[in-house]
Structure 1
């Protein structure tokens, strides 16, 4: 009788147009995607990147991507209710006098979100609405953190302010869910971005459970809408592994997510304190295989599909597409950056994950789409979509390593092939230096002006390697 009743319910749901999409099917449909970062998650749209237009979504779809993740921040002046008036102190929760009606999401902002989501759905893209942003961190996530750097934000769990912050976050999600409850099931909700830097595993279990229940309570297509969750306490590939069985077993439409920016010395190498400019050795790849494999094993054991929500590496040489300049501290060499995106994308797809690579716009340090010119950063789009370079080209980072970059008076060269000669060119294409010493391991620069140069190393096997070198004498 139970099975018969479930069949009737399923049939009625289908007849009403609410045909469910299982998480496994949805992850397969999502496939390869991209983040639209630094736009709607900025304090004001346009602060960090160009305001979004429908041409961005058209270009993403026409390139061949099948999903987009849209980071959105609902805190700041986008939602009413100032929780800072409440005490952060222990045992003050009884003094909280607020109600959900204090926290109202600006209807005009919801209209804007709806417009953007409609643009994306109209391009047949699967859309992830991701609660994300620096104001979200300052006003909510950091209030859970006991780290010393977050001390100004911390609120005691039994404080009035913690009660206020919790109610505000949940009320925002109620507003989101109500606004989009009748939207296509190709719209997916992501509870919150990277909570694990502030919230414990237990904190995140509670938050996941509450938001899942809130979304389901609004009915309509939210009854069966897929929801993306992660765990607390540990980051990167370990984050989903922290989700409790209680949360995983409470709902049949959950997708687990993780982000991946390891090794940081490579992916953040445009910054001063990270200076590994190449990637692609067998050891590098084995680390990815091991970490992604751990997630796949967990996924199979829990029967929860996986979404790689973010990954990426700094722009080649620390290049800034807004200023058209290279960074002061160098950055990934081009072939390695391409190979990194390619390897992670293919690994994710091979393991049955979907992904959205991180793109934060032309003003950022991690750029894929260049909105002002409607073009793409060299090689990255093709790497993500599986339109890869030839093996000789994409594997050249395994042949040779050049460091440090920027260079002051010398540069070191390591290669597992014999180097025939090394040449240095300025950006006008004129050769200004050549060294014919075979198997050279170190070059000392002549007296040349500071600036960016092209280094070309020719190997005796006929291959050659080239990269930009920033010289700061």
Structure 2
């Protein structure tokens, strides 16, 4: 028996120390709504089989059975496997897929299925590489699209119904009117549906996932998709969209520094539209990607302040549950380290996991700034309880004393000067203490107590290829940059707003005591016309600075 078990483990490709997974061929609920609900939560194997041109081209190691075992063990119930086919089939008819590539895709899919995961398989970056050219090359695009799905459907026709097909990721069409775009996507989705259904086997009633244009959850585009789904008269269809928050908040541009009422309303409205357009009519919604654009980025400073991002993730999990939407975290590398199979930021992932089942309270901010140059005074935050009740504040495992260390009036939490004096100690710049606000359910809200003073900037010279502003941050944290000319025009690559994009136009370098102005920013400056920069910090401090480009040379001066 032991020999047979070892042989089975070897055959399945299970790594040393990894227990065999539960059987993957479980029964899929009859109702598409129930089936997609069973897929919650979901995870994307991003920047892997969708990388261009090959699986490891974008820095991730090859996917393994152990990776998918980890995903299942961490509580995910489905995995989206994006695949870019462009470089793996002949460029002309009959558009034959490279057998080795198809075998590799099947291997990864089979591993996931064997781990008991639902799997979503698609055409991914093909959308912008060649499908986007449909307006000018209609017949070739259709022939290529149809040929790929004919081959994929045939290869997987006997796979269990826990495998879903998604017609195309974020479909887009160049040089086309809105009416043409709608018609092209309906044509592709309808052809995809016909090809898969005609291929027989388990494909006869396999769940098929159909996107809106760009996978955008706007009402007109979702209405177009609802019309397509209605016309197909098929109860095994799933709508898919993506959500990366209100754009200014997602990338920290145009003043979107906080997860404010505007950002919250954008999310509330998006999930209400998903529910009302699809779920309420019996059509399940698979949110095939969610997150924040370029966040987290472990190689650069966080463009979105951490606590503000946690508020967004908590809110998204709640609204998705309320709307009956299954969510798939987009993970290109940022969350799970594919080499160690550990979460890069376990505390961050804890917030994501908690949002699947419960609400957590938050506060108006996750930092309390105590100016070093002034006497210590009381500092307040506003709690957002999200249905919980406040239990108290803790520091280093010890509970702070209500009335002496803090007070709570309604939702206003105030740290007393007495407590802050103790917590800041010798008042060195930076984080002096970390507190936990605990509640009756959900995760604690972490509050950093920070000693700071207004940062100090210095004059500088450089070039459009390399320019930094010498900065004594003095415990403060950079939030955003406002850039204008004397005539009121906006300075920088985002000329539609004075508030430029974090990490794209500017970036703090805390370790080296500098603010970097990027070549992207500097090369857009008007020659010989000074630009006035106002650096905004999370403490509320602002500092005005002036930069002037003369050819390739740049000078910067502090404005008194």
Same structural fold, with TM-score higher than 0.5 when normalized by the shorter chain: yes
The equivalent of 1:299 in structure 2 is 278
The equivalent of 1:129 in structure 2 is 121
CA change 1:315–1:382 in 2 (3 A) is farther
In 1, the alpha carbon distance for the partners of 2:73 and 2:67 equals 10
Aligned-residue offset at 1:391: 8.0
CA change 1:231–1:19 in 2 (3 A) is closer
In 1, the alpha carbon distance for the partners of 2:280 and 2:322 equals 18
Q: Given the alignment of the two structures, is residue 472 of structure 1 paired with residue 514 of structure 2, yes or no? A: yes
Q: Quote the RMSD (CA, aligned, Å).
A: 3.7
CA change 1:126–1:391 in 2 (3 A) is closer
The equivalent of 1:326 in structure 2 is 300
In 2, the alpha carbon distance for the partners of 1:319 and 1:243 equals 33
Matching of residues 288-437 of structure 1 within 5 Å = 288-300=267-279, 302-314=281-293, 319-320=297-298, 325-327=299-301, 330-361=302-333, 367-378=334-345, 379-386=347-354, 395-398=362-365, 425=429, 434-435=451-452
Q: Given the alignment of the two structures, is residue 138 of structure 1 paired with residue 106 of structure 2, yes or no? A: no
CA displacement 1:321-356 (0-9 Å, x = unmatched):
xxxx424xx511122222222221221122111110
In 1, the alpha carbon distance for the partners of 2:429 and 2:80 equals 41
CA change 1:425–1:108 in 2 (3 A) is farther
The equivalent of 2:497 in structure 1 is none
Choose between structure 1 and 2 for higher RCO, CA contacts under 8 A separated by at least 6 residues. Answer: 1
The equivalent of 2:141 in structure 1 is 165
Give the number of aligned pairs.
376
CA displacement 1:387-425 (0-9 Å, x = unmatched):
699988x513457799xxxxxxxxxx9976778679674
Aligned-residue offset at 1:225: 0.2
The equivalent of 1:47 in structure 2 is 57
Q: Given the alignment of the two structures, is residue 114 of structure 1 paired with residue 106 of structure 2, yes or no? A: yes
Aligned-residue offset at 1:57: 0.7
Structure 1 unaligned runs (5+)?
1-16, 83-98, 145-154, 362-366, 403-412, 437-442, 457-467
The equivalent of 1:259 in structure 2 is 242
Structure 2 unaligned runs (5+)?
1-25, 175-179, 370-378, 383-411, 434-449, 459-468, 478-507, 516-560
Aligned-residue offset at 1:58: 1.1
Contact 2:246–2:267 (CA<8 Å) still a contact in 1?
no
In 1, the alpha carbon distance for the partners of 2:456 and 2:303 equals 20
Larger radius of gyration: 2
The equivalent of 1:59 in structure 2 is 70
In 2, the alpha carbon distance for the partners of 1:352 and 1:235 equals 18
More strand by share: 2
3-state secondary structure, aligned to 1:214:
helix
- What TM-score does the superposition give when structure 2 sets the normalisation length? 0.60
CA displacement 1:353-390 (0-9 Å, x = unmatched):
111011111xxxxx121112221142332223226999
In 1, the alpha carbon distance for the partners of 2:306 and 2:357 equals 12
CA change 1:397–1:73 in 2 (3 A) is farther
The equivalent of 2:263 in structure 1 is 284
In 2, the alpha carbon distance for the partners of 1:32 and 1:19 equals 16
CA change 1:434–1:182 in 2 (3 A) is closer
CA change 1:171–1:224 in 2 (3 A) is same
CA change 1:388–1:166 in 2 (3 A) is closer
CA change 1:399–1:41 in 2 (3 A) is closer
More helix by share: 1
Contact 1:75–1:136 (CA<8 Å) still a contact in 2?
no
3-state secondary structure, aligned to 1:202:
helix
Structure 1 window deviating more from structure 2 (258-267 vs 189-198): it is: 189-198
In 1, the alpha carbon distance for the partners of 2:122 and 2:143 equals 19
Q: Given the alignment of the two structures, is residue 209 of structure 1 paired with residue 190 of structure 2, yes or no? A: yes
Aligned-residue offset at 1:243: 1.4
CA displacement 1:254-280 (0-9 Å, x = unmatched):
0001111121122223xxx5663432x
